[in-house]
Amino acid sequence: MNKVVVGLSGGVDSSVAAAILHNQGYEVVGVTLWLMKGKGQCCSEGMVDAAYICEQLAIPHHIVDSRDLFQTNIVDYLVTGYEAGITPLPCSQCNKAVKFGPMVHYSQKELGIDKIATGHYARITYDADSDRSQLRRAVDLSKDQSYFLYDLTQDLLAATIFPLGEQTKTETRRIAAEFNLKTAEKPESQDLCLIEKHGSMKGFLDQYITPQDGDIVDQNGKILGKHTGIHHYTIGQRKGLGIAAAEPLYVVGLDAVRNRVIVGDRTSSHQTECTVQRVNWVSIPEPTNPIRAEVQLRYRSQPVAVSVIPLENSRVKLVFDEPQFCITPGQAAVWYNGDILLGGGILEKQN
């Protein structure tokens, strides 16, 4: 019988992923990663719900203490990034370094099981011509999570199943009700799990970074107001600046060295190009010549037409057909051809 380890968060999506595979005849083992140090109320709730689902499906359940990995790869990464005036994206890093990598390792080494599955909304297909696993957007575009998965290696993709990639969230809820799963009615989780646990990113970061007041300045250095600590701001932010101005002002820069938040009008932050580092080519091998694609510069942003120009050392230059507003260093740029995710990387701070 085919065996698979399902990553169970205690939410409805992973519960249904496990139920679908179990129903298809897989021998399923549930694995829950214990992620967060501290009070961990949210984690314990998730672990109990995951245990409940395993009991319902009559499958084994393992809890793996991954708190040190999460602390180093996510908490420390975020704190260091915000202190340096960038806005790091924790989710893609978490998927690669905390979830998929260690889960595949645990499954293969500890349990002798080759495959893992998660409740992500994305699809994986195999392209025989290039001998590559290709990552594709989910059928339900409103739930598509491929953006957060751009950093997965070929080995990880080859070991992964996404049972929910072909269905809508409504169908997931229907299946959860049909199987009478305890998690069927559980509300949607937030895009960012840390916000769920701490109320806001500010609430989370203030535990680690002592807020230090400073000046809000325009692009000529003129002081316009006061900020409460640069880690409370992100590029593109308009609300909460506390400055009265004739035209809307946006955060266009975070100067960690001088502890300043820089603001400007909308057009002043337009960029026609930018660079990206730590690039992972997913569905195609690294090209030697520029390619055309559609790039997403944030999770919820619309893809825009771009030329992707390969550079040395796993970097690329992106040249946009239309200028882009408030490109945020630390976030991921992920480029697609239709529904196929070609590659992605981290937006660099431009000097």
Ligand X SMILES: Nc1ncnc2c1ncn2[C@@H]1O[C@H](COP(=O)(O)OP(=O)(O)OP(=O)(O)O)[C@@H](O)[C@H]1O
* Residues annotated as part of the active site: 94, 193
Q: Which CB atom, from 194 or from 235, has the smaller least distance to ligand X?
A: 194
**Which among 77, 89, 92 is positioned nearest to 280, based on CA atoms?**
92
Q: Are 75 and 208 in contact (CB under 8 A)?
A: yes
Q: Cα–Cα distance between 136 and 286 in angstroms, integer?
A: 17
Name the minimum Å distance from CB 11 to ligand X. Answer: 2
Q: Which is nearer to ligand X, 59 or 209 (CB)?
A: 59
- Phi, psi dihedrals of residue 149, rounded to the nearest 5°: -110, 5
**Interface with ligand X in residues 172-211 (CB under 6 A):** 189, 193
- For 230, the token pair is 């640069």
The secondary structure of 208-235 as a DSSP string is TS----EEEE-TT--EEEEES-GGG--T
The CB-of-248 to ligand X minimum distance in angstroms stands at 32
Q: Where in 33-52 is the site for ligand X (CB under 6 A)?
A: 33, 35
**Of 4-12, 72-80, 285-293, 302-310, which part binds ligand X (CB under 6 A)?**
4-12
Question: Which is closer to ligand X, CB of 113 or CB of 251?
Answer: 113
Residues 245-284 that bind ligand X (CB under 6 A): none
Q: Among the candidate windows 12-20, 133-141, 295-303, 312-320, which touches ligand X by CB under 6 A?
A: 12-20
**Which of 85, 119, 236, 343 is close enough to bind ligand X by CB under 6 A?**
119
Residue 318 marked ligand-binding: no
The secondary structure element, H or E, covering residue 277 is strand 270-281
For residue 272, give the 3-state DSSP assignment.
Answer: strand
Go through 198-235 and write b for each residue having 16 or more CB atoms within 10 A of its CB, e for each that does not.
beebbebbbeebeeeebbbbbeeeeebeebbbbbbbbb
Task: Tell me the binding residues for ATP.
Answer: 7-14, 33, 119
Name the residues that contact ligand X, by CB under 6 A.
Answer: 7-9, 11-14, 31-33, 35, 99, 118-120, 189, 193
